[in-house]
Structure 1
Amino acid sequence: MSSLLLEKLVTEVRRYQNKDFLHAAMAVCAITAYSDGEVSIEERYSIDYAIDNIEALKTFDPVRAIEILDDYIYLLKSDAEGVKAELYKKIKIFEGKYKRSRTLLRVAHLIICADREVDPREQKEFAMLCNLLGLEANKLWRQIENQKAL
Structure 2
Amino acid sequence: MALWDRIKESAQTMQTQLEAKKNDLKSGAFRDASMAMCALVAAADGTVDPSERQRVAQLITTNDVLANFPADDLRQRFDQYLDKLVADFDFGKVSVLQEIAKVQKKPEEARAVVRIGIVIGGADGQFDADERGVVREACHSLGLAPSEFDL
Query: TM-score under structure 1 normalisation?
Result: 0.71
Report sequence identity in percent: 25
State the alpha-carbon separation in 2 of the partners of residues 118 and 22 from structure 1.
22
Gaps of 5+ in 2: 1-22
Q: CA deviation at 1:137?
A: 0.8
Q: Which has the higher contact order (CA 8 A, sep 6+)?
A: 2
Give the equivalent residue in structure 1 for 2:33: 24
Q: 1:79 aligns with which of 81, 88, 94?
A: 88
Gaps of 5+ in 1: 1-13, 143-150
Give the equivalent residue in structure 2 for 1:53: 63
* Aligned residues between the structures: 126
Once the two structures are superposed, residues 86-144 of structure 1 have per-residue CA deviations (whole angstroms, 9 ceiling, x without a partner) of 111111111142211111011110121122223221111111111111111123137xx
Give the equivalent residue in structure 2 for 1:120: 129
Range moving further from structure 2, 39-48 or 28-37: 39-48
How has the CA–CA distance of structure 1 residues 38 and 80 changed in structure 2, closer, same or farther, with 3 Å as cutoff? closer
State the alpha-carbon separation in 2 of the partners of residues 135 and 51 from structure 1.
27
Once the two structures are superposed, residues 35-91 of structure 1 have per-residue CA deviations (whole angstroms, 9 ceiling, x without a partner) of 013346467545533443344x32321012111111211221111111211111111
